[in-house]
Structure 1
Amino acid sequence: MSTVIEQSVEARLVAAAPRMPNIPATLRYDRNDPFAVRMTFPAPATLEGVEVCWTFSRELLTTGMREPGGLGDVRVRPYGYDRTVLEFHAPEGTAVVHVRSGELRRFLRATGELVPAGAEHLHLALDHELAELMGGTGTC
């Protein structure tokens, strides 16, 4: 059984320009880092022209689909019938994207089958986390 779930999603960038095309993004969940979800945007979809990865809690994504959640760099809230808004705040500015809620629900269902909510502590890779804290580098 795989310990990683990856799912491609289409995100619509909300911008001042008229209708922006959908941009690809990848959601990733790793059983060895059970509290975190990663959302990666490819280089062509970013202002800097480099791949950008945001890491935030699975709980934030789950909560944000029902009600506004998040106070920091990542905020999530429901929007209409089948959209969820994700806001990514950085010193360079804020990116706001809409993702179909159905895609997020499917992703969260798969993560819940891999690691049920409330059982994350049973899957912590403490050696890996300690190595990162002590100066190792982490990647998305």
Structure 2
Amino acid sequence: MSTVIEQPVEARLVAAAPRMPNIPATLHYDRRDPFAVRMTFPAPATLENVEVCWTFSRELLIAGMHEPEGHGDVRVRPYGYDRTVLEFHAPEGTAVIHVRSGELRRFLEATGELVPVGLEHLHLDLDHDLAELLRGTR
């Protein structure tokens, strides 16, 4: 069984430059980092014309589909019948995108099959993570 889930989604850019009404994005989940979701945007959709990847908690995405969540760089809220708004705040500006909630639900269901919500801690390799953290400190 694969430890990684990648799902392309179509995001509708609401605010930010360059103006692109629809942009492809990719949602990424890795069982080795069970609390995190990554969303990657291609270079043409960014101000710097380089691929940009945002990492945020799976819990934020789940909760934000039902009510506004987030107080930092990433915020999520429901919008209308089947849209979810994701806001990405950076020093260069704010990008606001709409994604079909059904696409997000399908992605989250797949992540839940790989690592059930509430059991993320069982997939952490704390010994490896500690060794990585301490490497080179001698």
TM norm structure 2: 0.90
| AA partner of residue 112 (structure 2) | G
- The answer (yes or no) to whether the contact 2:15–2:94 under 8 Å persists in 1 is no
Structure 1 stretch 33-42 or stretch 122-131: which is displaced more? Answer: 122-131
- The answer on 1:95 being equivalent to 2:95 is yes
Runs of 4+ in 1 over 2 A off after TM superposition: 125-136
1:83–1:98 contact (8 Å) kept in structure 2: yes
Cα RMSD, aligned residues only: 1.9
Deviates further, 125-134 or 76-85: 125-134
- Deviation of 1:132 after TM superposition, in Å, equals 5.5
Query: Is the Cα contact below 8 Å between 2:65 and 2:84 reproduced in 1?
Result: yes
Alignment match, 1:84: 84
Separation in structure 2 between the aligned mates of residue 88 and residue 66 of structure 1, nearest angstrom: 18
Q: Percent identity of the aligned residues?
A: 87
Report the Cα distance in structure 2 between the residues aligned to 1:119 and 1:36, rounded to whole angstroms: 13
Amino acid at match of 1:61: L
Which structure's CA Rg is the greater one? 2
Instruction: Name stretches of at least 5 consecutive residues in structure 2 with no aligned partner.
Output: none
Residue 15 of structure 1, CA deviation? 2.4
Q: What secondary structure, in the 3-state scheme, does the structure 1 residue paired with 2:78 have?
A: strand
1:72-119 Cα distance to aligned partner (Å, 9 max, x none) = 100000000000000000111110000000000000000000000000
